[in-house]
Structure formats: structure tokens, C-alpha cells
Amino acid sequence: MCESGRGPVYRRATGQEDICPMIRTSIYGAVTAVLLLTLSMVPVSRASAGSAVEINAEVDATLLKFFRTVGSGRELYERAAGVLVFPSVIKAGFGIGGEFGEGALLVGGRTVAYYNTVSASIGFQIGAQARSIIIMFMTPRALASFRRSNGWEVGVDGSVTLIKIGAAGTVDTNNIRDPIIGFVFGARGLMYNLTLEGSKMTRIRK
């Protein structure tokens, strides 16, 4: 049974009380099923790629877009110990909704594993919106911690700092000290005034 306060209950940065891990895992599973059913009926780019080849191609396209959009993006990419790329994360649902997408983890420029991301939410939702997410592990320690996890949740297992892009479309790479940073692309370009809190990344087979 879950209890408030310290112990098995997590508190998110918003100050709202989270639920215990067992219940949270069940919700993630339910949300994944609901979203996959919803996405199968929505005429948008697929959040769940059919094969490793498709995911790899979409990851490459997303990185090229990132390099074109962010002037120092390639420098950050080359500095990172590992880069997790979700080309298309779909936000959709009816009643119980959230986000779902599949992507790949690259180390040394090569794919080493595939992951999905799920983020649950409660409340009436309709339609679908897509965005791309790039998460960079800037230290070997941060990358190793992520890869050891059997389901890594933002805000619980680690924090992701979303990077703000300057007026000239560049990032001051000298001032980045966070071990894990992130970039989110929406239909209108890069977004940073949001959070990835509650997003869970789990390794999958492809």
C-alpha cells in the first residue's frame, strides 16, 4: 500500500505526490496499450516503427534536422558519451492518455540498443501531436547508470535539462555542465519551455 511522505512514494518537481512503483508500472502498461490502439486509428507518422531498419533511418533523419537547426549541435553530439533519439513521440489518448514513441541509443555514432518512451496522463484528450526528443548523456557515468536501469524514469532515476537555443540558433557549449541534457522538436521547431518529467524509457528488442 502506498503512503504519503518519504519512503516508497516519489514526489515530482511540481510538488504533487506520485504513486508507488507497482501501480505506476501498471499504468504505463495500460497507457502503452491505449496509445498504440489510438495511434493505429490516427493518420499521423507512426510512433512505433516496424523494424530496426526503420528506426535507424528515422533516427538519422532526426539528427540531420538537429544539426541543421542547432549550430553547435554536432559538437554536442560528438562530445556526448551516448545519445538517445526518439524521432516521433506521439501525444494522444482518450480518457487515459499520454505519449509513446520508439527510438535508439547511439554510442560512438552507432546504435547499441532500442528503447521506447511512455508518459502517462489522466484527463480527456483527443487527436494526436508528434514531437522528436533527443537526450544526450554527457558523461560515461550518466550513460552507464541509464543503461543499467530496467526502465529509466525522468525525475526519478535522473534529471534531463532541456537546453535553450540562443537567438542565432546556437548553444553556448562552454556553459553546459549538466550530465544529461535534452532537446525537443515540435512542429514549429525547438521547444524548451516544457518538461520531460514522468517520461519512462525502457529497452526493447528489435
pLDDT digit string, tens, across residues 56-107: 999 999 999 999 888 888 999 999 999 999 999 987 655 556 788 999 999 9
The closest alpha carbon to 122, from 202, 37, 24, belongs to 24
pLDDT digit string, tens, across residues 35-69: 444 444 444 444 455 699 999 999 999 999 999 88
What are residue 161's DSSP bridge partners? 181
pLDDT digit string, tens, across residues 14-31: 444 454 555 455 544 544
Cα(71)–Cα(85) distance, rounded to whole angstroms? 18
pLDDT of res. 144: 97
Vertex 156: Cα angle to 122 and 9 (nearest 5): 70
Tell how far CA 72 is from the center of its chain.
21
Are β-strands 161-162 and 96-107 bridged in parallel, bridged antiparallel, or unpaired? Answer: unpaired
pLDDT of res. 186: 80
Give the count of beta carbons closer than 10 Å to the beta carbon of residue 178.
Answer: 16
Span 145-150, average pLDDT: 94
First-to-last C-alpha distance (Å) of the chain: 36
Place of cell 538537429: 66
pLDDT band (50, 70, 90) for residue 109: very high
pLDDT of res. 39: 45
Q: Which residues of 31-62 are buried (b: 16+ CB within 10 A; e: fewer)?
A: bbebbeebbeebeeebbbbeeeeebbebbeeb
Cα(18)–Cα(4) distance, rounded to whole angstroms? 9
pTM for the model stands at: 0.74
Cα(29)–Cα(25) distance, rounded to whole angstroms? 6
